[in-house]
Homo-oligomer: A and B are copies of this chain.
Amino acid sequence: MKLSFQDYISIKIHQTDLNLTKFIKSKLEDFNLAPEQNLIMMLLWEKDGLTQNQLAEKLDKDKTNIARMSSNLEKKGYIYRAHPKEDRRSLMLFLTDSGKELGERVIPVAEEFNDIVCKGISSDELIELERLLTKINQNVQEQ
Q: 1/0 per position for A21-64, CB-CB distance to B under 8 A?
A: 11110000000000000010011001000000000001010000
The CA-CA distance from A134 to B16 in the complex, in Å, is 8
From the candidates B12, B60, B113, name the one contacting A15 in the complex (CB within 8 A): B60
Q: Is the CB of B46 within 8 A of A130?
A: no
Q: Tell whether A101 is near chain B: CB-to-CB under 8 Å.
A: no
Q: How far is the CB of A42 from chain B (nearest CB, A)?
A: 6
Q: How large is the interface on A (under 10, 10 to 19, 20 to 34, 35 or more residues)?
A: 35 or more
Q: A42-B5, A116-B143, A136-B121 are in contact. Are A17 and B14 (CB under 8 A)?
A: yes
Q: Tell whether A82 is near chain B: CB-to-CB under 8 Å.
A: no
List chain A positions with a Cβ less than 8 A from chain B: 1-5, 7-24, 39, 42-43, 46, 58, 60, 107, 110-111, 113-114, 116-121, 125-126, 128-130, 132-137, 139-141, 143
Can you list 6 residue pairs at the A/B interface with Cβ under 8 Å?
A2-B107, A5-B39, A9-B114, A9-B118, A10-B24, A121-B136
